[in-house]
Amino acid sequence: MATILTPQAAALGPNGDVPGWLGGVDPRARIIVAVVYAVVVVACSRIEVLALAFALSVALLLASRLLITRTLKRMAAMDGFILFMLVLLPFTVPGDPIFAVWGFTASWQGVLHAVEIALTANAVVLALLVLVGTLEPVTLGHALHALGMPERLVHLLMFSIRYIGTLREEYLRLRTAMKVRGFRPGTNWHTYRSYGYLVGMMLVRAVERSERILGAMKCRGFSGRIVMLHRFEATRSDLSFGLAAVAAMAVLLLLDLGPWR
């Protein structure tokens, strides 16, 4: 699969992400470190260690020279998803009472558990956004293929990323057509049937588009294999990055499982 450089991509680093030291790190190393780091953080249970892990993720964000405002907005979207769970958790975990609201008692153990979940989620998601979220889709697909991922899964990932915007545009066109014809949603069977027709039409058009795309790819010689335009090569900077990541994760595990626990 050939990579087409847009004006925005031309201003990015060699691996398709923001310029800086992180752009020079092998994408394979970034994926491996992100996955292992997520497992290590999830395995930790002490709040002090989780706070340290979150601080490491923040330090990684600052060192990567990413746009902090944009990254924090993505983090806020994730935090909003789990906000209700974190608010309700203190009222569902038994323990030492703090206060009561409408007959429901919040416990210190529930609050600590909610803080633990929040620190874990934010540390993991922030590291994934910095290490993996900055990779270009084609670079990410090639890196996953180089790591031994099945080609069909890699194809599915790359085509999903490529055409999810196209499906959204198709959905907006169909919704606009419905509004032009006077459709106003409500709580009735006509609305339910209309949305059912909308979903069905999107599926039909998606199948038709996929057949056209498959025909075009076959005409260009596509045989179901990923063609690597370049080979990933490990460098000294990749080794240094991997050793630093292993040392940081070892410290987290020692602090969480050590005899001073």
Q: What is the pLDDT along the chain (261 residues), one digit of tens a residue?
A: 433 333 333 334 444 455 466 777 888 888 888 999 999 998 888 888 888 988 988 888 887 777 677 777 777 777 777 777 777 777 777 766 776 677 677 777 777 878 888 888 888 988 888 888 778 877 888 888 888 888 888 888 888 877 888 888 888 888 888 888 888 888 888 888 888 988 898 888 888 888 888 888 888 777 777 666 667 777 777 788 888 888 988 888 888 786 655
Residues 37 and 166 in one domain: no
Token code pair at residue 91: 């009222």
**Is residue 64 one of the residues assigned to a domain?**
yes
**Is residue 143 one of the residues assigned to a domain?**
no
DSSP annotation of 183 reads -
**pLDDT, position 27:** 85
Amino acid at position 32, single letter = I
Residues 32 and 122 in one domain: yes
Token code pair at residue 156: 């599915």
Q: Which pTM value belongs to this model?
A: 0.72
CA distances (Å), origin 37, targets 34, 133, 137, 152, 252: 5, 15, 21, 26, 10
Residues 27 and 123 in one domain: yes
Rg for the chain, CA atoms, rounded: 24
Number of folded domains in the chain?
Answer: 2
Residues 125 and 53 in one domain: yes
Give the range of the structural domain holding residue 198, as residue numbers without chain letter.
Answer: 150-219
Cα dihedral sign, 24-30-33-34: positive
**pLDDT, position 260:** 55
**pLDDT, position 39:** 92
Residues 124 and 244 in one domain: yes
As a whole number of angstroms, the distance between CA 219 and CA 189 comes to: 45
- Between CA 56 and CA 62, with CA 61 as vertex, the angle to 5 degrees is 95
